[in-house]
Structure formats: structure tokens, C-alpha cells
Structure 1
Amino acid sequence: MARVTLRNLAAHKIRLVLTAVAVILGVAFVAGTLVFTDTMNKRFDDLFDRVGQNVAVDVRSVKVVDSGGPDDSARPPLRESVLATVKNVPGVKDPVGTVDGYAALVGKNGKVVGTGQNGPPQLGTNWTGDGIARLASGRAPAAPGEVVVDKASAKKAGYAIGDGVTVLVKSGPQRATLVGTADIGDMMGATLVAFDTTTAQRLLLKPGYYSEIRMGSTGPDEATLRDRVAKALPSGTEAVTGAKLRDENKSAIASIMSFFRTFLLVFALISIFVGAFIIFNTFSMLVAQRTRELALLRAIGAARAQVTRAVIGEAVAVGFVGSTLGLLAGIGLAELLQSTTGSGGSLTFTATPVIWSYAVGIVVTVVSAYFPARRAAKVPPVAAMRDDVALPQRSMRIRLGVGSLLTLAGAALMGLGLFGHVSNPAVPVGAGAFAVFLGVALLAPVISKPVVRVLGWPFARLLRTPGRLARQNALRNPRRTAATASALMIGLALITAVNVLGSSMRSSVESQVDKQFGADYVIEPTGGGGLSPELVAKVKKTDGVTAAGAVYAGNGKVSGKRVAYSAGDTAEMLSGTRAKVVAGSAALPRDGMLVDEDTAKHNAWSVGSSVPMLFPDGRTETLKIAGIYAKNDFLGPRVISEGAYLAHTANPSVEVIIVTAHKADAATKHALEQSLSARPDVKVQDQAGLKADARKQVDGFVTFLTILLVMSVIIAAVGVINTLALSVIERTREIGLLRAIGISRRQLRRMIRAESVVIAVFGAVLGIGIGVAFGAALQHALRKEGLNVLSIPVGTLVTYLVVAAVIGVLAALWPAWRAGRMDVLKAISTE
């Protein structure tokens, strides 16, 4: 039977190559993701090993309140006196205080190097001669007005050693001289600006303070030295070994890369799931076309198990070849991902991508081919003596029952995840979506008959005979039509759901801006450093401005749980956000707090309630509820006074500045922009600008997800080509008879193109319908998170229908050309 398997592979090369394309694309996605994330993990591991190679002990403040992210921004800074203390501990070698903060380099073109809020970090630090940076050229900064910049950023900005440069920090632009460049390894486009220690403290942190203190050892092991240092430290500080510091840094990056890997693998698995439909369809058709051949094998003594193994052997071969080519394509994809992230260097190869590539490719192919193989084994030997033999088909009743059950169960699981109280809603939602797709795919043959009749009607009217034949061909084998359409359905369903969700996000944000944005302008940073409180005074002096208030953001702990709050000029905040106080007073004393209705109800608070809040500096302050306001997405759930925030924050940072003007016109906006012209990392926005910015962010998110899902649509298009090509071969004699009775080549090609369009549009109709339902369910589940407007992008969905029709036309080009070139006499004589 091995020879039979090899002969069949050689006899159906083109058909199996098309099938392998589905495997190649899916495996490439998996392999590329794994190779890229392995490379990034290895690169960051090497970086942190390099950073901490001489660190035996690290001293830092205790993190009382988590910032909600992987960084250490929630740790209060250390006083310089701590450095003097650790210098006297026996065994300590070369202790040094480090200062970390935000510093952005402005290029000669006046633009900030880097890509703003969503781009790579813009790091400011003090030069210590150790850590991330190594001097590449020039010298270290030794006085105020001198800086070292990483060599990649210096090149992007157009600077050479000795040039005057502009550096943006939270307090404003700083002029300095570039005295050296640094090698910081591969940090995926991050920029680094290093000052002397005194200047770094003044500009990035606070005079007389360090972010942390690192030291080596003169002999004691890390654990022993850590214990010695810990005994000498004041309360509120801690000492950790260098090994723990390195592990923490690696763990933080590993968690980010793990999320990124999982995120991409989800889309890879969607592509593979779509490919499974194509593989199943292809092997089903191949088995159907070889019914007589299989019957002959049974007649000459082949057992059922041998026939099954022969077909499975073909699947293994296709899976192996597809996995191999997919792995190679995945390496290219990893290179592409690396280049788009601004990262260079060679890729890291481990056994993991290889193992998973072959496991996924071969297993999916074999599983998809298993049922056609079982069906092939059931062909009776007597069938070899008949001309009209066909494979037995199961009753549609079983499909109808199982499909209905899966669809209902999937909908129930999705409802549980979206509306129920479960610890991890992603699991039931994902399982439910998978069940719904399987259920609808099983129901598709039943659905296809009435829908295809409707979709094929225009072709029957316009194209007459070719159109009627196309509709009948699509109806002839509803299982085949459904399997081909289901592959396209899955991709378009997910794309539609993403677009419905994106459109709802845009509409919800615009609605929130209209209802809750009462200020004339908002000033916010485009980088990650925040704004200095002193900038508020400058804004107030701008012509046309009547009032300006700072808004801060912070975290604290209430009843042991981390909570977020806003702080600032309460009057300006309430006015600028159109917040409505429903109980108590809007006047907020130094020890007061405002909360929204949901927060008050959840905690059983009322006006006058006392709430102990633990701040990041380790101190607890009891705040009294002064007022309760209606839910406001701009304010958030809590507001505390500016005085309370500043009392517990060593390095205050303004998130946004709310501005009210005499007249909100172009002249006032221009005056504000001129007043802030020295800050290219700051933008001024009015209501229209806020909406446009929100639309841009949502559109970018939707586009990114759509691009990832397009892979599944490409695989589905390959499936349409494969199905039509095999269908043409299957109907060779029929096509010859049609040509013999007078149908022209042009009419024949029209028939096949029309059939392809009907199948593609049927898949699109199913997908868009399911996608709208998924998107509406997600929007409903996220209403409390601010997604309170359901918006269905009808124009976009119509475009998708047109695109599906175009896919149908393009997919039919080769099969139609092949059918048109058939020799009539040979086709008629084909058995």
C-alpha cells in the first residue's frame, strides 16, 4: 500500500500542492511567531544579564502600591543618605545611585526621535559607566549641559559629538552639548539620554534622590551581602540580590512576550482551523473521484484498514511537505516582524518552533483527512464493476441535530463568558465561538440550499443558461459547497466582529466626548513623561485663556485592593468634564474625596463616609466622601484633592491640562500652540481633535487585527480555487457533453466563475451575519466599560461582500481557463 500511496501522490500533484498551501500558510504563522518571540526573549535576557552582571545587591524602596504595569514607577525614590549608609556596610563594593526618568531627544528637523506614546521608551538616566550603556565614542558627561546619547538615536537625529542638542524632559526643553555616544545593544528602537548625576536628579527625579542603589561585592556571596545591607537600611527600603533583580527584569519581559506570543498564536490557530476545512474538502473530493479505483483495491484483496492507511499516508506526506515549507516561510515572517519593530541582529532558533510546526501541520492534516479516509475504506468491492458508483452519504438529519446542538451550546458558553461571573471569561468565550463555528459549518449544507437559490437567481437571469448551470452546480453537492464557504465564513465572521466592535468604540467615544467634554481644549503629552505642574502657569498666561487646571493620575490601596484616582483643580475638572454631582458638595477639601455612583454603591459609601487610603509613599490617610457624582469616563471612579496627591508624591506628573477660553476659535488654539512651540512632545486638542485622535487609535487597532485575520481569508480563497479545480476534474465528462451540445468556451468559463462567486458570497453572508451577532454581543457585554453605543458599519460590510465576490472571480480564473481548454472528445470519453 505504500507504493499505492506514492503513486497517488504523484498522480495528484497539483491538487495536493494546493492543499499544502493551506498548511504552509498556517504553519508559517505559528513558526514565525515562535521564532520571533524566542529571539526577543533571548535578546532581552542577554541585555539584562549585561546590565546586572556586576550587581551583587540592589537597594530600592518597597513597592507599597502596584502601578498596574511591569515597571517600578510606583516605587518612591531613595534619599541620598541611603547611599552613604550602604557604603559603610562590610563587603560592599562601588555602590552607585541610579536615576531614571523620561528624556526625549529632538532631532535637527525639530521632531522628537521616537514614535510617541505608543512607541519605544524614551529613557533618561545618569551616567554611571555601568548598566545598559557602554561608551561607544567621546566621553562621559561631567557637568551640567553635557549629555551622552545612544548612537542609533544620535544618528537618527543627525547629531555628531560636539553638536548642541535639545532634550525634552518633563519640566521643558533643555539645551546641552553632545559629548559622547553610547552602545545600548538592541532595545527595539528605545532612545537613551544620559546626564551627570546632579543634573539627572534635578531634571528627571528630585534633587538629593535616587531611583535605586546598586553595588558589587568584595567577597561575600550575594545572599550574605544582601542580609548585611538589609540590616543597615531604614524602614520602607529593601535589599535584593542581583540574581533576583535580573530574574525580575526577565520575568517582566517574559510576561509581555508571552502575551504577545499568545495573541499572535490565536490568529495562527484561526488560520489553521480554516485550513482544516480546505484539507477536509480536498480529501473528500479526491476520495470521491477515486471511488472505482478504491473499489478495485478492495476487490483484489486490500483490507479496509489498508485503504484507510493509504489515504492517511497521503495526508502525512502533504502535512510533512507543508510543515517544512511553512517552517521556512515562518523564518521569513520572523525576519519581517523583527524589521518592523526596529530590531536588528540574527534570529534565535530553538527546537520549539520546529516541533510545533511539524506537530501542528501533520496532525491537522491527518485529522482533517481521517473522515474521508474512513469513508474510502467503506467502498464495497462490487462497486468496481459499476460506472455510476458514488460514496455513501450520511443523512442530513444527523448534521442538523449535531449542528444545532453545537450552535446552542456555543452560544450558551459565550453568554456565560460575556455576561456571567467567571474568573477567566476568555475561556468560555473562546470555546463558545469555536463551537458556534463548528455548529454553523455543520448546518451550512442545510442553509445553503435556500440561500444559494437566492444568490444564484441574478446569475440565472443575467447569464441565462451558464447562470442556471452555475446555480445548479453549487446546489448539487451542498456538503462541498458548505465546506468551501465555511472556510471563508470563519475569517469574515471574525473580521466583521472586529469591525463592529471598532465602529462601536468610535461611536461610544464620540458620544462620551459630546456628553462629557466641557472644556475648550485639552493639552497632553505625546511621550511617556507627563508634564510639569509649572507648565500650567504658562498656559494660563496665554492670550484668550480664562482658566487652566492640571489633572493628575495615581494609584492607592483601599481595603487591600489597588484603586485608581484622579486629582487636580477640582472646579476645573468638574467643569471640564461636565460631571454632575448628585449628592453632597462639589467643593473638595484637602482630606476629601469624590466618588461616582457605582463606586459608592459597590462599597456602601455615602456622603461623610471615611475611607482610609494607602498611598505609594507608604503612608495612610483617611479621606472623607465629600460628594458623589454621576459616572464619568473622563474623571474615572475617584477624585482626590491636588493637595493630597502632592503630599504623597515625590515627583508629580500632570497627565493633561484642561483649558477654558474666552472664545474657542482657531486664533486661541494657535496662541496655545505658539506658547508651547518649544515642546514638540505636547499637543493641543479641541473636541474635534479628541474625536479624530480616538478614531485614529481605534482604526489602527481594527486595521492591525484585520491584517492578522486576512491570512485566514487568503487560505479560504485557496480553498475555493482547490474546490473548483477538483470540481472541474470531477465533471470532465459532463463538461465535454456540455461542449458537445453547443455551449461555448466563454459560456463555460462564465458558468464556473458564477459558481465560484455564489459560493464565495454565500460564505461571506454567513460570516458577516455571525460576525454582526458576535460584535453586538461583545458590545453589550462591555457597556459598563464605556462601550455604550452599538454601531454596525454597513458600508464596510457591503464592501466585504463585494470583496468576497471579487475573491470568487479571481479564484475561478485558473479552473475556468482549464475547463475551457478541455478537448471535447477526450472529455466525453473520460470515465
Structure 2
Amino acid sequence: MIVKVTLRNLAAHKLRLALTALAVILGVAFVAGTLVFTDTMGKQFDDLFAKTGQDVAVQIRAKQVIKTDDGTDTPTVPASLVDTVSRIPGVARVHGEVNGFAALVGRNGKVVGGSGPPQLGVDWYPADPDDAVKSGRGPVRAGEVAIDDKAAEKAGLKAGDRTRVLVQGPPQDVTVVGILDRGNLMGATIVAFDQGTAQRLLVKPGRYSDITIAAQSGVSETVLRDRIARVLPSPSYEAITGTKMRKDNENEIAKLLSFIRTFLLVFAVISIFVGAFIIFNTFSMLVAQRSRELALLRAVGASRKQVTRAVLGEAIGVGVVGSTLGIAAGAGLALLLQQAFRAAGADFPGGLTFTYKPVLWSYAVGVLVTVAAAYFPARRAAKVPPVAAMRDDVAMPQRSLRIRLIAGSVVTVGGAVLSGVGLGGAPIALLGAGAALVFVGVAMLAPVISRPAVRVLGAAFPKLFRTPGRLATQNALRNPRRTAATASALMIGLALVSAINVMASSAKASVAGQVDKEFAADYMITPASPGLSPEEPAKAVRAVPGVELVTSAYQGRFKQGTDQHSFIATERPGDFVRAAKLTLRSGSANLGRDGLMVDESTATSEKLTVGSTVTARFADGGTEHLRVDGIYAKNQLLGARVLALPAYQAHSDHPAGLGLMVNTDKADAATKAGIERALSGYPNLKVQDQSDVKRSAQQSIDSFVTLLTVLLALSIIIAALGIINTLALSVIERTREIGLLRAVGTSRRQTRRMIRLESVVIAVFGGLLGIAIGVVFGVAIQHAVSDQGLNVLSVPVPTLVAYVVLSAIIGVLAALWPAWRASRLDVLKAIAFE
């Protein structure tokens, strides 16, 4: 019987449940799309690695002392090992590989790639199937390169064309002599040199990035690895099997995919969390509207458990249908993500990869969340007494708002405490859990808050809109739980968006303040992509009329004990102090060959004074005893450590350039144009004055905020669906009442206005609640990280006011269909409706 009742109710309330299912669909689509997309990326990377280095049995590489994400300062191995290893029994082939930064300049004078996928320079090796020539030939002398076919297409180049390649040194004028068939490189670009040139430009003569060894038939890679390990000249080098080499490459990609998956799933969880409010509200209203029907079920013998199962059965039906459609929608979302990554330069060809995991997780999330959200309404339905079937009006049992006030306060305070712990340096997951508890707690408190808030928000309605305005306010006040549950869904999305905007506004204000306070140079010259050697550009800029001072800066890392630290290195520390507006507290900027300056907080935490010695270990495994020559005031743009350039150069074949700072006698348009002309041969360099530096940083912040807002927009859309659903069900619930209003003279226009105003009150209440919470969170986060650069609090009042207006617009749009439906009710049928 219960199964039949469940199916009948699903069929009878198709329209009501369709909107609920839509909330499930959107949330599940985000989950399914994320998992399908990352599975597709993983499959394509697996295919790429499956074709790369399959004949490698052993690889010799230098042990990595410093962990880097950009590939700079990667230690190398001596070329002499090739002859040593080639004499080991079981070795079939030995090849010293070279790789590093090399950016191809296209026919249009612009650098190809650089917005994410790497720009790789390699040595061309005819025996390697990865270096198969598609047209032309391989490079055999300096000044010749071969490029991959995808890069050639993007650059508009073919064999025989002249172009330029940017490396960590002077730009190289080259001839493209061949096009390589490298297959799908996921947006990376390949420039291949002859081996001698590759060593000179990318690493160092007499050095290789690594050495790969192929084994003779019948020799296992583990046996060969052990033989090779015995001849390695230093513990700084290691021999690993080809299997481990490929596994390490896969693990690096797995970390990237894990980050992307986690990042997107956070927003999927937010959407599902918002959807749970909609599901809860919908089932609460459906149960309330069917209370007499449920009482009849109890009267004819249905037990409480059976009534509960009937309602949960409907929830399962909605969850299954919503999850199924959500998986289909998720495939579309995965395609959109694929296109977005292509637009960013990462080429993911082919179709999508489907595995069982997205399907399994989609159904698990969709069904479980729907059932969990419907559980309490189902339990409430089971409490309807059988005797209520004999009454004309049946009221669902409601708990006192006092209990909600106490419980909501406890949950909110608990969430705030947990959030505070998360902001204090504990795992970030605690911050997320605390925020979720705050949202739940405020949602529990919202019915108590809604009454005074709705009265204030709707106070002007009677004067402005007369009777429809008064009725709209009364309707919103009639059921504070329903009003609060509907508003809470919108609250979550706008709270997160508001918090992000507070942090973004604070970040932009902080950057502007830091540039004004800590940046004295007239111009900053920075690379648009990694791989800059400031030496040559600095010479060109110094020759520009009006240029007084050019200061080059490099960035690197060293280990101090077990801790890894970043530093900036410069060859002219005195000029650097002037250009960076560095305030020395003690000591001097005369660093010599092995001098170091640290900021005050570092000196205090590490108990350093002028004359102290710091033992630093660099990427090549070598150590330096650095002398502390100066202590300076904290400088957010500069960082905590400034190192003498010779100390860095002693341990890096190609120190990573950070940029140039330029001081002139007159910072005007003519001077800037002269600097840009001097750097015309370096298309990856960007010249910025102080206003440009601020604008560039602020644009980056704005772009990130836009991305987050777009991802959060789905939760706001789901909240809007919740308002539509609530109003639609409310119209059904008040059918007889609306019919009576129409009978006593209320026009269709007035009826539509009443519904719209009710929607606006609910939406604005939710928006204001969310904005208030978002501002509190934003201020708390800014305060917690104020010592990490976010030292200026800025609340974007105009933006927040715009969000209030947006809330009202959402309310108007959400009410369009319910208002139209209410105005079209047949008056006689509505009056007779039970």
C-alpha cells in the first residue's frame, strides 16, 4: 500500500516536485561535471605518459633538495656519467637529456603559450621516438631548432622560417629546420636544439638534466638500477627505475588534478548545501498541505513508520530522477570546463571519459542529500493523529520558537568558535565546517529574526502599494519558519560572495598601500611568463635616455635546517634598497659575496642580529654560511630575505629572474615609450609604472573574484528556484484565500503584485542576512591574515548595496511564474478548493 501511495503522490505533485528535482539536478551536475572532467584529464595524461619514455629502464637524476613548482633551480648531473654508465653490463643505450625554459616567438612577434602549460626547451635525439620529425629535419648546429607541430600551428611557422626563442639569457635568433610530431602535449610548447646548444642555453656545458638508460634484452630494470647505483659518484645523485620515473610523473599530475577536483567540489558542496534547504522547505510545505490526507492514512491503519516511509519514498524518487538528469547535465558542464581550459592554453582533445565513479557519487550525493533533507518533514508527517482526519483544518505540530532560539544560538556560537580555530592556523577544513555550522545556526535563528526584519522591510509597502503591499507583508509573516527557510538558501550564496568581496576589496587596498609605501622605482619590468634573465634587458634599459638607475632582482629558495625559505637576490643591494624603499633598522646593505638581509620579524623569531651566521643549503645540494649584514623593516612586496647575488649564482646555473626596477629623471610617457622600444626584442617583458603595478594586481584580484562569483552563482540560482518553489506551493496552499480575494474585488494585477512583493521581502531578507554574515566573515579573515599582506580593511559598500538590489531583482524574477499562476486562478473553483 505504501509503495502505491508513494507513486500516486509523485504523479499527483509532478510540478511541485519538479522544481525540487531541479535543485538536485544542479547540485549533482556540479559534482558529476567535476569528476567527469578530472577523469578525462587524468585519462589523457595517462595516455601521454604511456607513450613517453617507454624504453627507459633506468633514470639517473640529482636528488631534489629544494621543492619548487615552477621547475627553476632544478639540479643537474655531470655529462661524464654517460661514458661511465655505458660500460656497465646490460646497458643497451645511454642518453643525456637536457630540458629547460624556452619560449617560441610567433610570426606576429608574440610569445606562444605561457599562460599555464610549460614552454619547454629540449635537446633533439634522433633515436627517441618522441623526436620523430614530421617535416624538415632535426637541428644539428647552433641557430637551428625544431618545434612541435601544435606550436608551429599557433606560431604560424613552418620549416625554413626565421624566428626568435627566449631563454634564460640573451634571446636567440634561430631558423626552424623541422616540425616534430609530438602528439598531444596538453598545450605545452616544445623547442628542440642540438644537444650542445641545449646544454649551453638551458643548463650548463658538461651537464645534463638527467640521464636515461635502455636495458638489453633479458635484463630487468631493478637489476640494472642496482648496478648503476654502485657507480654513482655522490649521494646527491640517484638511480631509479623507468617504472618509478613514470609513476613520479603521474603523481605530479595527480596532485594537480586533486587540487582542481577539490577546488571545484567545494563549490559543488555549497550548491548541494543550498539545495538541501530547498528540499527541506518543499517537503515541509507538501507535508503541511497533505496533513488531512496523512491523517486519513493513519485512520485506515497506516503506522507512523509507514507514513514516514511514504514521504521518504517520494524523496528517493525525486533524488533518483534528479541524480539521473544531473549526471547528463554534468557531462555538459564537463564539456564547458574542457573549453575553458582550452581557452586558457591547455589543449584537451577528444571526447569525455566516463567511469563508474561519477555515476556512483552522483547517485549517492543526490539521493542521500534529498532523503536527509526530507527526513524531518517525514517524521513530522508521521505525528499527525488519526482523529485529525475528521477535522476540516489540520495544523502540523510545531515546536516553540524558543527552542529554535536556544539551539540556533548554540550552533552559531559553536560554528563561530570552530571558524576562529580554523583561522588561527588549524586545518582549513575546520574553517569550512565552522562556516557550515554558522549557516545552519543562523538558519535556525532566522524564524525569530524574520518577524521584526520583515516588518521593517515591508513597512513602506502599505503606503506605496496599498492593500497588495499590506497582504504581502502579512503573508511573509504568517509562517516565519517557511520565510526563514526560503531566505536562508539565498543567504548562503550571498554570504560567501560578500565575504569574498570584502577580502578582495581589502586585498586591493592593501596592494595600493604597499605600492605607495614600499615601492620607490618609477617602473617595474616583469616577465609575462617564467624564464627571465634580467642581465641583458638591464643593459638595454640603461642605454635609454633619462634612465638613472636599473636594479635587477632574482628569486630563489634555500633550506635552513628543515625549513625552506624564499629570498630575493640582487647584485647591487644599495640600489635595491633605494628602489624598493627599504628601511634599514640596523646594519648596512653592503652584502659583499655572502651577505644576507632579513626583516625584523624574521630576526626576532630566529634570534638573529647583525653579524649572525645562517647556514643555507641550496638546490644543488651545496651550502653557504651567510652573514647577516642588515635588518630592515617589514616589507610585504619584498619579503623576508635579501641575498647577495654571488651567493645565489654559486649554486644555480640559471638564477630565476624576478624583474627590473627602473628609476628615471622624469617618469613620463616618452620615457616609458623609450624603455618599451629598448625591450622590443623581449616580447615576454612588461613595462609598468606605479599605477600600472596597482592596476595589474587589482585586475588579477578582480579576475579571481569573478571566477569565484561565477562558481557561486549556481548556489544563488538554486536559491532563486527555492523562492519560486515556495511561492508556487504557497499559491496552492492559499488557493481558496486567493479566490476569496478575487471575489471581493482584487484584480489580477493586484494579485500578481501581492505575490511579487512577498517574494521581494523574502529575497531581500535573505540577501541582507547573507551580506551581514559575509561581512563578518570577511572582516574576521582579513584580521586573521593581516600580518600576511592583507593589512588594510576595506568594505565595498557600493558592491554590497548592489547585492541588496540584486536580491530584490531575484525576488521579482522568482515571483513571475507563481504570480501569473495565482492571477489566472478560476475564482469559483478557487473558492470551492479544499
TM bin (shorter chain): over 0.9
* CA displacement 1:408-465 (0-9 Å, x = unmatched): 011111111213x53x2x1221111011000000000000000011111222221010
- Whether 1:623 and 2:626 are equivalent positions in the alignment is yes
| Aligned AA (1:437) | F
Q: Offset of 1:643 from its aligned partner? A: 1.4
Greater CA drift, 785-794 or 160-169: 160-169
CA distance in 1 between partners of 2:294 and 2:192 (Å): 75
Which SS does the other structure have where 2:212 is aligned? strand
5+ residue gaps, structure 2, are 343-347
| Aligned AA (2:818) | P
| Partner residue of 2:602 out of 599, 603, 606 | 599
| Aligned AA (1:741) | V
- Whether 1:492 and 2:494 are equivalent positions in the alignment is yes
Q: Offset of 1:806 from its aligned partner? A: 0.7
Check the 8 A contact 1:172/1:679 in 2, yes or no. Answer: no
Q: 1:133 to 1:306 in 2, by over 3 A?
A: farther
Q: Offset of 1:586 from its aligned partner? A: 2.4
CA distance in 1 between partners of 2:86 and 2:683 (Å): 42
Hey, what does 1:56 align to over in structure 2?
Answer: 57
Hey, what does 2:39 align to over in structure 1?
Answer: 38
* CA displacement 1:656-695 (0-9 Å, x = unmatched): 1111112111111111100001111101111011001101
* CA displacement 1:516-562 (0-9 Å, x = unmatched): 00111111111111224233222212221111121111111112321
Q: Offset of 1:45 from its aligned partner? A: 2.0
Hey, what does 2:265 align to over in structure 1?
Answer: 265
Which SS does the other structure have where 1:627 is aligned? strand
CA distance in 2 between partners of 1:185 and 1:294 (Å): 64
Give runs of aligned pairs for residues 88-103 of structure 1, distance below 5 A: 88-103=87-102
- Whether 1:237 and 2:240 are equivalent positions in the alignment is no
Give runs of aligned pairs for residues 81-480 of structure 1, distance below 5 A: 81-114=80-113, 116=114, 118-129=115-126, 130=128, 133-218=131-216, 219-235=218-234, 236-342=236-342, 343-419=348-424, 421-422=425-426, 424=427, 426-480=428-482
* CA displacement 1:799-824 (0-9 Å, x = unmatched): 11111111111110000100111110
Which SS does the other structure have where 2:529 is aligned? coil
CA distance in 1 between partners of 2:819 and 2:756 (Å): 7
* CA displacement 1:295-335 (0-9 Å, x = unmatched): 11111111111111111110000000000000011111111
Check the 8 A contact 1:63/1:74 in 2, yes or no. Answer: no
- Aligned CA RMSD, in angstroms, stands at 1.4
Which SS does the other structure have where 1:232 is aligned? coil
Check the 8 A contact 1:592/1:624 in 2, yes or no. Answer: yes
Check the 8 A contact 1:31/1:327 in 2, yes or no. Answer: yes
Q: Offset of 1:365 from its aligned partner? A: 0.3
- Whether 1:534 and 2:536 are equivalent positions in the alignment is yes
| Aligned AA (1:41) | G
Check the 8 A contact 2:555/2:655 in 1, yes or no. Answer: no
Check the 8 A contact 2:73/2:652 in 1, yes or no. Answer: no
- Whether 1:7 and 2:5 are equivalent positions in the alignment is no
Which SS does the other structure have where 1:215 is aligned? strand
Hey, what does 2:832 align to over in structure 1?
Answer: 829
CA distance in 1 between partners of 2:73 and 2:165 (Å): 25
CA distance in 2 between partners of 1:482 and 1:638 (Å): 52
Q: Offset of 1:132 from its aligned partner? A: 5.1
Q: Offset of 1:345 from its aligned partner? A: 1.2
CA distance in 2 between partners of 1:160 and 1:186 (Å): 19
| Partner residue of 1:766 out of 762, 766, 769 | 769
Check the 8 A contact 1:525/1:531 in 2, yes or no. Answer: no
Q: Offset of 1:723 from its aligned partner? A: 0.4
CA distance in 2 between partners of 1:44 and 1:575 (Å): 47
| Aligned AA (1:187) | L
Give runs of aligned pairs for residues 504-543 of structure 1, distance below 5 A: 504-543=506-545
Hey, what does 1:819 align to over in structure 2?
Answer: 822
5+ residue gaps, structure 1, are none
Q: Offset of 1:740 from its aligned partner? A: 0.7
Which SS does the other structure have where 2:159 is aligned? coil
Q: 1:133 to 1:767 in 2, by over 3 A?
A: farther
* CA displacement 1:689-748 (0-9 Å, x = unmatched): 100110111011111111100010000000000000000000000000000111110000
CA distance in 2 between partners of 1:10 and 1:715 (Å): 23
Hey, what does 1:80 align to over in structure 2?
Answer: 79
Check the 8 A contact 1:521/1:684 in 2, yes or no. Answer: yes
Q: 1:708 to 1:131 in 2, by over 3 A?
A: farther
CA distance in 2 between partners of 1:681 and 1:694 (Å): 18
Q: Offset of 1:617 from its aligned partner? A: 2.1
| Aligned AA (2:540) | K
Check the 8 A contact 2:597/2:643 in 1, yes or no. Answer: yes
CA distance in 2 between partners of 1:811 and 1:654 (Å): 54
Give the fraction of aligned pairs with identical amino acids, expressed as a percent: 60
Check the 8 A contact 2:145/2:178 in 1, yes or no. Answer: yes
| Partner residue of 1:611 out of 596, 610, 614 | 614
Which SS does the other structure have where 2:262 is aligned? helix
* CA displacement 1:213-242 (0-9 Å, x = unmatched): 111101421111111112222213221111
| Aligned AA (2:111) | V
CA distance in 1 between partners of 2:620 and 2:153 (Å): 40
Hey, what does 1:651 align to over in structure 2?
Answer: 654
Which SS does the other structure have where 1:464 is aligned? helix
Greater CA drift, 55-64 or 267-276: 55-64
Q: Offset of 1:17 from its aligned partner? A: 0.6
Which SS does the other structure have where 2:629 is aligned? strand
CA distance in 2 between partners of 1:147 and 1:703 (Å): 40
- Whether 1:24 and 2:25 are equivalent positions in the alignment is yes
Q: Offset of 1:131 from its aligned partner? A: 7.0
Check the 8 A contact 1:47/1:132 in 2, yes or no. Answer: no
| Aligned AA (2:452) | P
Number of equivalences: 824
| Aligned AA (1:349) | F
CA distance in 2 between partners of 1:438 and 1:135 (Å): 62
Which SS does the other structure have where 2:190 is aligned? strand
Check the 8 A contact 2:534/2:553 in 1, yes or no. Answer: no
Check the 8 A contact 1:171/1:535 in 2, yes or no. Answer: no
Give runs of aligned pairs for residues 697-712 of structure 1, distance below 5 A: 697-712=700-715
| Aligned AA (2:472) | A
Q: Could you tell me the TM-score, scaled by structure 2's length?
A: 0.97
Q: Offset of 1:46 from its aligned partner? A: 2.1
* CA displacement 1:154-190 (0-9 Å, x = unmatched): 1122222332233222324323232322233333322
CA distance in 1 between partners of 2:295 and 2:180 (Å): 74
Check the 8 A contact 1:449/1:478 in 2, yes or no. Answer: yes
CA distance in 1 between partners of 2:201 and 2:617 (Å): 28
Q: Offset of 1:494 from its aligned partner? A: 0.4
CA distance in 2 between partners of 1:659 and 1:765 (Å): 48
